[in-house]
Homo-oligomer: A and B are copies of this chain.
């Protein structure tokens, strides 16, 4: 078996790459999409579903799991894999993003970030050392450093000051968990907002620290598609080629295709599961909303080109009915389909890169989402 943390590139096609990252719970083939399992379950979808869908790694949210059921309780259960019965790799975020987006009364100091729980208002503090301790308790295969996700619209001075602190926090995370201490990998997160020179600066600083992979943070935070693509395509090449590159919280199918095109290896997003619960479903011909009247008597499968349980078993008419009746089953069936779509998308990308046909593969998605494609390089 390969060494944990080893990242092997098997093929490149332009800037796009395909390879394998070894983790303590097995290999992850890249490019990969990670379904989001916020509180220790991918909403509506059980581990057997995830296996059937072809998921290779899921994401857990440190902020949520720390608050409920608590990372120490999870540690006493043997870690998150034992707790939620998902025995393949798990990546956990550092909790920073959720603190900034969900909690009340956060206060950022050099020490860390103080916040109140969105559940009960109780006061907590995340420091770089604390989030490492939490993620070690969860025993995630890939831990993320604490960072400040700079809000969209922040000025250059704020962004520059913030990225320096993010670098210091990253170093404190690494110091709290020196390389070789355990089987948990640790990724750095680069920031820099929407300033290309600051992006370069952040990457330059972070990559001085010996992390197992590097993320682009602070994208998909409210900016236009054009701005996001501008920063993505500019920044990705500065990330080390021999380490996995992770675009956090992104995104639409076309965002992922562009991320892969720019040389990114890993993605996560709540979009497939959240949209599933809103009735927005991805098909090989584009997005549809299953709510619409036109599907009331449509006996065809959701997507004739999809082989998921939902598409193999049910008609659009039935899925529309379940959605309108607000049946719990609707959320599960829709989530199974949307996650399959995202996992098929990255599997197709891996195959296309291996065959040197990624440009053609990308053009198919550009054709499905022409309005979005017009805003991308």
The residue of chain B having its C-beta at the shortest distance from the C-beta of A320 within the complex is B69
Q: Is the CB of A318 within 8 A of B83?
A: yes
Residues of B within 8 A of A321 (CB): 39-40, 68-69, 83
**A313 vs B329: C-alpha distance in the bound complex, in angstroms?**
20
5 more A-B residue pairs beyond the given contacts A64-B325, A73-B297, A85-B313, with a C-beta to C-beta distance below 8 A: A40-B321, A41-B322, A76-B297, A77-B315, A83-B315
**A317 vs B69: C-alpha distance in the bound complex, in angstroms?**
9
Say if the beta carbon of A158 comes within 8 Å of chain B: no
A-B contact pairs, 9 of them (CB 8 A): A41-B329, A43-B329, A46-B333, A77-B297, A83-B321, A84-B314, A328-B328, A328-B331, A332-B332
Say if the beta carbon of A324 comes within 8 Å of chain B: yes
Q: Is the CB of B332 within 8 A of A44?
A: yes
Say if the beta carbon of A45 comes within 8 Å of chain B: yes
Per-position 1/0 for A64-78, Cβ under 8 A of B: 100011000100110
Say if the beta carbon of A296 comes within 8 Å of chain B: yes
Copies of this subunit: 2
Say if the beta carbon of A309 comes within 8 Å of chain B: yes
Say if the beta carbon of A26 comes within 8 Å of chain B: no
Question: Given that A325-B68, A328-B332 are contacting pairs, would A318 and B45 also be in contact in the complex, using a CB cutoff of 8 Å?
Answer: no
Q: Is the CB of B314 within 8 A of A44?
A: no
Residues of B within 8 A of A43 (CB): 327-329
Residues of B within 8 A of A296 (CB): 69, 73
Per-position 1/0 for A262-302, Cβ under 8 A of B: 00000000000000000000000000000000001101000
**A45 vs B46: C-alpha distance in the bound complex, in angstroms?**
12
Q: Which of A313, A322, A325 has the most CB of B within 10 A?
A: A325
Say if the beta carbon of A110 comes within 8 Å of chain B: no
Say if the beta carbon of A120 comes within 8 Å of chain B: no
Residues of B within 8 A of A314 (CB): 84-85
**A76 vs B321: C-alpha distance in the bound complex, in angstroms?**
14
The residue of chain B having its C-beta at the shortest distance from the C-beta of A42 within the complex is B329
Complex A-B, nearest 10 residue pairs according to Cβ-Cβ distance, in ascending order: A44-B328, A39-B325, A69-B321, A41-B329, A85-B313, A41-B327, A328-B331, A83-B318, A85-B314, A43-B328
Residues of B within 8 A of A157 (CB): none
Q: Which of A45, A83, A297, A321 has the most CB of B within 10 A?
A: A321
The residue of chain B having its C-beta at the shortest distance from the C-beta of A313 within the complex is B85
Residues of B within 8 A of A360 (CB): none
Say if the beta carbon of A47 comes within 8 Å of chain B: yes
Residues of B within 8 A of A325 (CB): 39-41, 64, 68
Q: Is the CB of A46 within 8 A of B85?
A: no
Residues of B within 8 A of A315 (CB): 77, 83
